[in-house]
A and B are shown apart, each in its own frame.
Chain A
Amino acid sequence: MENFKNITVTKGNKTLVIDNPTSFPLIGMGSQGAVFKLSDEKCVKIYTDPVQAKMEAEALESGQHLSFFPILYESGPNYVVMEYFNAPTLKEYLRNCTYIPLSITKKLLTMLREMTEANFTMIDAPLRHIFVLENEELKVVDHVNAFKRMHPVPLKLLRDLKIILLKDSFLSRVKQLEPETFQAWDDYFNQNTIDYRNIPVSSGDSGKGVKVESSISTPLIGKGHQGAVYRIAENRCVKIYGKQNHCQQEKDVLLSNQKLPFIPKVYETGSNYIVMEYLLGPNLNQFLKKQSHLSEDITRRLLDILVSMKKVGFKQVDAPLRHIFITHDGFKMVDHVYSYSREQPDPIELIQNLHERGFLESFFEQVKKLEPNLHAEWTETPIPLLNEMIEEGSYAARLKAEIENRNTKKNKNTARARRK
């Protein structure tokens, strides 16, 4: 008889490391643990941290009377055996829906009310943790933070509903069904908007993104290694940095290049924030995913950016597709923290990105025609491509190594040319 206890789950560098000598299939993996299917009724979640296993077991136990809870069968030092649901998640169930159904809204409100009554502090669940059974009964998994995190309003649920364009219809229904709940949420949102002059973002550990306070209701547009960006008005956003020197570096670049057409407008700065223009439009990576060929117009615009970067003395000359936004006012580029400090004369990331989109060959053909000198420069020492499959973390490391390697080679070539 197989024993799931032989499965080990440990924290690896970036993701979990799983050693599974059994035939129980892996059905899900998160940051805390991995889930394996044991039978049609049961699954086991194995945690890397026993504290979390205990928290989950306790939460599950205390919520066994709740209709939307999975049945808890057994728990141990690093695992919890619970009910398995062979059903779509709420996100899948609502696919292509353009107005949230009344029945689902009522069930979600009941679920949230029962969480409150059970004294949970986390009155929330992301769509991927909610399962919809055949009779449209909802079941919710992952309660590890039920008594830990403070979410008096369903921030994750609303954030997920916004992504699939159902937040507005959900709120409209809530307003009708439970005006007092709607009012309470609205009050919370009005009280918890960001005061960017008084900043709650802190720098994460090395290699990790910044930590962001999840109770902030101001829309978070994105977060990365150096900072988090929030939308604060129709045409404005604020980037808040974990480290002041990053803020200073980016400020220097943005403020001294406001005349360049691809640099976003800056409205206000502080020691660790910059208020800038909010860029409306798809990023170039998104856009190119839908194109069957690369138009010369796009290549021309990319070259304009790279050429003017060189002209004004940027040390890092690159234009990753995800950093370029197509606005009605032309291409705009974000993320300039290292423009003056990182030595990188060739657009390695752009080349890599275009390769991933399948447009590298046409790009080079067009560059040859439009900017023959640049073409010669880029092809003299060919820009190498990185393995597409490398996971994000080590991709950055490889990229850094590649940049250094290439700079050394270039210096050698220049020295050789001088000797000649």
Chain B
Amino acid sequence: MSKVMHLNLRVDPTQYIPQIRQVPGYDYIHLVRQPKYMTDLSLLNEKVHYLDEIFSPKEFVKKNKISLLHAHHGQLGVLLLPFKEKTNLPLVTSIRGRDATLANQPVGYLDNMKMLFANGEEFYPVCQHLADRMISWGCPPEKIKVLYGGVDLTQYTYTPPSLKGTQNILSVGRLVEKKGHHVLMKAFKKLQSKYPHATLTIIGRGELHDELSSLATQLNLGDSFRLLQHLPKEQVREQMRNADLFCAASLEASNGDVEGIPNTLKEAMALGVPVISTNHAGIPELITHQKNGFLVAENNVDELALGLEFMLSHTTLWEAFTKNARKKVEQSFDAKKQLLLQASYYNELLGGKRHGKF
């Protein structure tokens, strides 16, 4: 079996563990930059290694029989370039969002990305939107293969909308500007006169916690609004199942930071929860307006309020929308299929060099 050395940010359950450890037909080395980035004991095994502790890259590669390097962020691909130079191994890089922007980037970032585009073998952006951005930075299109992130459909099973007459809206995502929580809260406020019993729940933690709490007070949202700190994944799933409408109000942050395609949207769609979101980044690749969900312009309170109102007043559309949504996720965002696709990208790249069976 061929072995891929993956470099990601942390050894941590939220950090692409299946894309590293469960690629069919491929063994792995799970590399992080330094020992301090190993933060979860349950994920520690003999395959975890530390980039800055590798004594001799050549010997390491030989001893571990590594045939491919996979960096799970743009900046990590750049970091691996000297390792690639010393070991002469092919390097592929996943591009996930901010790494295709100049938001809060260190000195020389764009030049470094251009160097990575020139020297790296392949790039796997998580949506076509990011692929287009990379092409505009000079990445050769033939090196780009879109690889959507997938949802575990055995855990996220479909239940048709219950139409119980409630209007409980849910949003899940880090409390950072690009998630657009502030826009959603303002849009929700506009809804309240028509839907006095509607509720809004936001689950997440992040730098904007205090700001969003004061916004809730300022808007006088009272008991209709809940801001829940980060919850375990199973509990988030339960919250999703019980919601009437799921919203991701994603937008381009003032520093230029963008999304790929929010995973929470795919999860809600897999579960059968009606969704509303924005025409931002890769989201239109997942949601087709008025077919499997509702799309509005990003960073626009009035449009989002109208969209929410449309969805809440057209419950008869929900079943058809959610069925289409489930189908879309099954087609293009099924974790199992996406891991097979990732393996087939590796196969194509390694070609004759690959040993073992698939």
Point out residues on A near B: beta carbons under 8 Å.
93-104, 162, 165, 168-169, 171-172, 231, 233-234, 280-283, 286-287, 289-291, 295, 297-298, 326, 328-329
What are 13 contact pairs spanning A and B, CB under 8 A?
A: A95-B106, A97-B106, A99-B112, A165-B52, A231-B55, A234-B63, A280-B35, A281-B44, A286-B35, A289-B36, A291-B39, A328-B44, A329-B46
Q: Is B137 part of the binding interface, using a Cβ–Cβ cutoff of 8 Å?
A: no
Which residues of B, 77-110, contact A by the 8 Å Cβ criterion?
78-79, 81-83, 85-86, 105-109
Given contacts A99-B115, A162-B52, contact A94 B107 (CB under 8 A): yes
Q: Check if A328 sits within 8 Å of B39, measured CB to CB.
A: no
Choose among A168, A172, A233, A326 the residue with the greatest number of B CB atoms under 10 Å from its CB.
A168
CB pair B51–A287 under 8 Å, yes or no, is no
Chain B hits for A298, CB < 8 A = 41
Residues of A within 8 A of B63 (CB): 234
Q: Which residues of B contact A103 (CB under 8 A)?
A: 108
Query: C-beta contact mask, B39-69 vs A, less than 8 Å → 1, else 0?
Result: 1010011101111111110011001000000
Q: Which of B45, B81, B86, B107 contacts A328 (CB 8 A)?
A: B45
Residues of A within 8 A of B53 (CB): 280
CA distance A168 to B85 in the complex (A): 10
Cβ contacts under 8 Å, A297 to chain B: 41
Residues of A within 8 A of B38 (CB): 281-282, 287, 326
Residues of chain B within 8 A of A291, CB atoms compared: 39
**Complex interface: chain A residues within 8 A of B354 (CB):** none
A168 to B52, CA, bound (A): 10
Indicate if B33 sits at the interface (CB-CB under 8 A): yes
Q: Which residues of A contact B50 (CB under 8 A)?
A: 280-281
Residues of A within 8 A of B49 (CB): 280
In the complex, whether B2 has a CB less than 8 A from a CB of chain A is: no
Given contacts A280-B50, A328-B48, 11 further A-B contacts (CB under 8 A): A98-B79, A101-B107, A101-B108, A104-B107, A231-B55, A281-B35, A281-B38, A282-B35, A297-B41, A326-B41, A328-B46
A298 to B41, CA, bound (A): 9
Residue B276 CB within 8 A of the other chain: no
| A328, B46: Cα distance in complex, Å | 5
Q: Which residues on A sit within 8 Å (CB–CB) of B83?
A: 168
Residue in contact with A290 in the complex, picked from B36, B86, B107, B115, CB distance below 8 Å: B36
Contacts of B55 in A (CB 8 A): 231, 233-234
Which of B36, B44, B59, B76 is within 8 Å of A98, CB to CB?
Answer: B76
Q: How many residues of B contact A (CB 8 A)?
A: 39
Contact between B108 and A97, CB atoms less than 8 A apart: yes
* Smallest CB gap from B113: residue in A: A99
- Nearest chain B CB to A133 CB, angstrom units: 14
Q: Is B223 close to A, CB under 8 A?
A: no
Bound complex: CA A102 to CA B78 (Å): 14
Q: What chain B residues lie within 8 Å of A286 (beta carbons)? A: 35-36
Q: Which 8 A-B pairs have the closest CB atoms?
A: A168-B82, A101-B108, A282-B35, A98-B79, A96-B106, A97-B106, A234-B55, A98-B78
Would you call B75 an interface residue if the criterion is a C-beta within 8 Å of the partner chain's C-beta atoms?
yes
A165–B36 touching, CB < 8 Å: no
| A283 neighbours in B (Cβ, 8 Å) | 35
The answer to whether B211 has its CB under 8 Å from any CB of chain A is no
| Partner of B111 from A102, A281, A282 at Cβ < 8 Å | A102
The CA of A165 and the CA of B86, in the complex, are separated in Å by: 16
Q: Which of A99, A281, A326 contacts B108 (CB 8 A)?
A: A99
Contact B107 A97 (CB under 8 A): yes
Q: How far is the CA of A171 from the CA of B76 in the complex (A)?
A: 18
In the complex formed, the residue of A with least CB distance to B47 is A328
Nearest chain-B residue to A102 (Cβ)? B111
Contact status of A234 and B56, CB under 8 A, knowing A282-B38, A286-B36: yes
Question: Known: A168-B83, A172-B81, A328-B48. Contact between A98 and B75, CB under 8 A?
Answer: yes
Chain A nearest CB: distance from B238 CB in Å?
21
The minimal Cβ–Cβ distance linking B333 to chain A, given in whole angstroms, is: 29
Contacts of A97 in B (CB 8 A): 106-109, 112
- How far is A391 from B115 in the complex, measured between Cα atoms in Å? 46
Closest to A236 in B: B55
Contacts of B41 in A (CB 8 A): 295, 297-298, 326
Cα A329 to Cα B41 with chains together (Å): 12
Query: Nearest Cβ in chain B — how far from A305, in angstroms?
Result: 15
A residues near B46, Cβ cutoff 8 Å: 328-329
- Chain A: CB-nearest residue to B71: A98
Q: Let me know if B60 and A234 touch, CB within 8 A.
A: yes
Q: Give the residue among A96, A282, A287, A289 with the most B Cβ atoms within 10 A.
A: A282
- List the B side residues contacting A162 at CB < 8 Å: 52
Contacts of B48 in A (CB 8 A): 328
Closest chain A CB from B262 CB (angstroms): 24
Judge whether B44 and A94 touch: CB under 8 Å: no
Assuming the A-B contacts A101-B111, A231-B55, A326-B44, are A171 and B82 also in contact, with contact meaning beta carbons closer than 8 angstroms in the complex?
Answer: yes
- Complex Cα distance A367/B82, Å? 47
Q: Of all chain A residues, which has the CB nearest B79?
A: A98
